[in-house]
Amino acid sequence: MTRQENLVKASHLIDMTDVIREGNPTLREVASDVTLPLSDEDIILGEKMLDFLRNSQDPVTAEKMGLRGGVGLAAPQLDVSKKIIACLVPKDLESEGAPANDAYTLATVMYNAKIVSHSVQDAALADGEGCLSVDREVPGYVVRHARVTIEYIDKNNEKKRLKLKGYDAMVVQHEIDHTNGIMFYDRINETNPFAVKDGMLIIE
């Protein structure tokens, strides 16, 4: 049975034991585009990735399943080298408890997502970034595009185009990076991790 066949079994819930960590070569590969129309396997994997994020954000479920909270997950993190990403960004990141269904700014599985244009302006999250595949803190500004336009295929095989800014733009860029073998700390200035280039937006 392939890795993906195991992950998409009806009885399987993705948990932290499915998430590979830095050092695993899959995280450094450029993942393959998924073939269209989408296979059932790729659709189910996407759903399960979103389920994982939902579970990870529910304090009770997360505790029970031993999950670290996450807002994004990419298939390469599950050792499946395909361009599949899931993003689940709650509207109010500070809110307590599991958010209701309409409480997300982004709740999507994206296939073959790519950046088609971006702002000249850069941006970084004030608190830096973390990653489910990185079991340590790496402080510093992760320098990304402040605004991006992305294209992807949705779960219904429809081509979508989306403009993103702010936190959502950072999350999606982090996940697209995973499908290109890039880790968040690759984008931190090595000599001065908190360097702020002229005009760079710091997102609180």
Binding residues for Fe cation: 131, 174, 178
Distances (CA, A) of 24 to 27, 66, 70: 6, 21, 20
Residues in contact with Zn ion, total (CB under 5 A)?
Answer: 1
Contact predicate 113/64, CB 8 Å: no
CB-nearer residue toward Zn ion: 43 or 183: 183
**151 an active-site residue?**
no
3-state DSSP assignment of residue 99: coil
* The one segment of 10-18, 39-47, 60-68, 124-132 that binds Zn ion by CB under 5 A: 124-132
Is 131 among the residues that bind Zn ion (CB under 5 A)? Answer: yes
Distances (CA, A) of 95 to 14, 90, 98, 164: 24, 9, 8, 22
CB of 73 to Zn ion, least distance (A): 8
Is 170 among the residues that bind Zn ion (CB under 5 A)? Answer: no
Q: Count Cα atoms within 13 angstroms, Cβ side, for 153.
A: 17
Angstrom distance (rounded) from CA 183 to CA 191: 17
Give the position of tokens 């004030």. 126
CB-nearer residue toward Zn ion: 17 or 101: 17
CB of 177 to Zn ion, least distance (A): 8
* The one segment of 2-10, 101-109, 126-134, 155-163 that binds Zn ion by CB under 5 A: 126-134
Angstrom distance (rounded) from CA 11 to CA 66: 18
Is 84 among the residues that bind Zn ion (CB under 5 A)? Answer: no
- CA–chain centroid gap for 76, Å, is 10
CB-nearer residue toward Zn ion: 113 or 131: 131
CB-nearer residue toward Zn ion: 5 or 186: 186
CB of 178 to Zn ion, least distance (A): 6
Give the position of tokens 């599950």. 78
* The one segment of 29-37, 40-48, 50-58, 131-139 that binds Zn ion by CB under 5 A: 131-139
**Strands 201-203, 144-145: parallel, antiparallel or unpaired by DSSP?**
unpaired
From the candidates 63, 175, 190, 204, give the one annotated as an active-site residue.
Answer: 175
CB of 59 to Zn ion, least distance (A): 21
* Residue 168, both tokens: 């959502």
Positions that interact with Zn ion (CB under 5 A): 131
Which active-site residues does the annotation give?
A: 175
